Amino acid sequence: MNTIEVYPLKNAPKIEGLAFRHFEGESDYPKMLAIFTNLHDAKQYSGETTLQSLKAEFTNLSNCDPHDDLIFAEINGQTIAFGRFYWEQEVSTQKHVYYVMFRVDPAWQGQGIEEALIDWAESRGRHYASVLPQGEAGFFLAFSRQTDQTRLQVLTDSGYKIKRYYHSMSRDLVDLPESPMPEEITVRPALPKDFRKVWEASNEAFKDEYGASEPTEEWYQSYLTGPFFQPSLWQVAWDGDEVVGSVQNFISLAENELEGRYRGYTEAISVRREWRGRGIARGLICRSLAMFKLLNMDEVALTADTENPTGAMRLYIGLGYRHYLTSLELQKPL
């Protein structure tokens, strides 16, 4: 009944029955979920992906046209891969960053589909480079786990070079450190009128981080409607009415069930510049650890840029977090 809107790709591999098509809306979420599930089983992906989280993400796409910047690969009618292109503007350099994102079902990896999706995303990037009004021409950017050899090889062969290392780190909740907050700082929960304030304060703080992009309203909407928005778990530091730092904690019970563990995430840890060096981040993390223990979690985790200029890695290691996974950021010039 539905005619598939085909995407003609020049560099598609010769696999019988392979066709590329446009995004078809909500009916694609279960198909994407199936690919994520297979990637999880192949230890190439972890994290909560559910129909709800896909919906929150794909109904609030940022700098990404759902018709032109998403692509799906089918073999004999079965969806086996998808690609997504979007762009961001780097705060520090005003350069455009062209994201090359793709997921290929493990059964079909290393057969040329990755290359076809990279080619497609790069052509979208060149298109945007020619039409975006301001900002310097930028570069292509892709991510891969260090252990994901096929993906890494394809990206390297396509001209991508490793630029940055990210460490995912975890810590048990047996012995908890304590760290007092500075006297002028209070810690109290955020109420609905504060939610955006907390988000904006963390955006401001993250401007100093490597690769920070201009936040968009779609990001916020996607966060607000997604499964990780659990503001009652946030630890927020206030100086009067000003948000000076926060840890936007969350628990993914769906991920915990899949992995058979009890983990809480201490993520989006940020302190605004004027308030740094006073132990606020340390104090907020310590409170988060105690909180997660009372929420019956066994461990906490986060992901951090290994070259973070504010010395975040040192802080996390000092608080007992230990590395368990490395992710790579790769870049290629336009």
Partner 1 sequence: MENRNKQKTLAPLPQLSGFIFRRFEGPGDYQGMVDIIMSNVDDPNSHVTSLEDITTDYAHISESVPVRDMVFTFHAEQPVAYCRSTCMWEESSNSWIYGWLLHVHHDWKRKGIEEALVGWLEDQALLNHQILHPEAAGMHSVFFSESDQHRLDIVQNRGYSPTRYFEDMKRDLIEIPDYPFPEGIEVRPAFPSQYRQVWEADVEAFQDHWGATIPPEENYQEWQANKNYFQPYLWQIAWSGDDIAGMVWNFINSTENEKRERLRGYTESISVRRPWRGKGIAKALICRSMKMMKALGMTEVALGVDSQNISGATKLYYGLGYRSYNRSVVLRKPLN
Q: Judged by CB under 8 A, which of 46, 111, 158, 256 binds partner 1? A: 256
Contact 163, 209 (CB under 8 A): no
Q: Report in angstroms how near the CB of residue 235 gets to partner 1 at its nearest.
A: 8
261 binds partner 1 (CB under 8 A): no
Q: What are phi and psi of 125, to 5 degrees?
A: -60, -45
Mark the segment that binds partner 1 (CB under 8 A) among 33-41, 78-86, 225-233, 307-315: 225-233
Q: Report in angstroms how near the CB of residue 321 gets to partner 1 at its nearest.
A: 20
Contact 20, 6 (CB under 8 A): yes
Q: Report in angstroms how near the CB of residue 181 gets to partner 1 at its nearest.
A: 13
291 binds partner 1 (CB under 8 A): yes
251 binds partner 1 (CB under 8 A): yes
315 binds partner 1 (CB under 8 A): no
Q: Report in angstroms how near the CB of residue 158 gets to partner 1 at its nearest.
A: 39
257 binds partner 1 (CB under 8 A): yes
174 binds partner 1 (CB under 8 A): no
Mark the segment that binds partner 1 (CB under 8 A) among 169-177, 211-219, 250-258, 307-315: 250-258
Q: Report in angstroms how near the CB of residue 195 gets to partner 1 at its nearest.
A: 9
Q: In the 3-class helix/strand/coil scheme, how is the chain assigned residue by residue? A: CCCCCECCCCCCCCCCCEEEECCCHHHHHHHHHHHHHHHHHCCCCCCCCCHHHHHHHHCCCCCCCCCCCEEEEEECCEEEEEEEEEEEEECCCCEEEEEEEEEECHHHCCCCHHHHHHHHHHHHHHHHHHHCCCCEEEEEEEEEECCCHHHHHHHHHCCCEEEEEEEEEEEECCCCCCCCCCCCCEECCCCHHHHHHHHHHHHHHHCCCCCCECCCHHHHHHHHHCCCCCHHHCEEEEECCEEEEEECCEECHHHHHHHCCCEEECCCCEECHHHCCCCHHHHHHHHHHHHHHHCCCCEEEEEEECCCCCCHHHHHHHCCCEEEEEEEEEEEEC
251 versus 328: smaller Cβ distance to partner 1: 251
x/- track of binding to partner 1 for residues 293-312 (CB under 8 A):
-xxx----------------
Contact 227, 48 (CB under 8 A): yes
231 binds partner 1 (CB under 8 A): yes
Q: Judged by CB under 8 A, which of 1, 232, 240, 333 binds partner 1? A: 232
Please give the size of the binding site for partner 1, defined by CB under 8 A: 24
158 binds partner 1 (CB under 8 A): no
Footprint (CB under 8 A) of partner 1, residues 177-206: 187-193
298 versus 305: smaller Cβ distance to partner 1: 298
271 versus 284: smaller Cβ distance to partner 1: 284
Q: Report in angstroms how near the CB of residue 290 gets to partner 1 at its nearest.
A: 6
282 binds partner 1 (CB under 8 A): no
CA distance 269 to 202: 8
Binding site for partner 1 (CB under 8 A): 187-193, 230-233, 235, 251, 253-254, 256-257, 262, 287, 290-291, 294-296
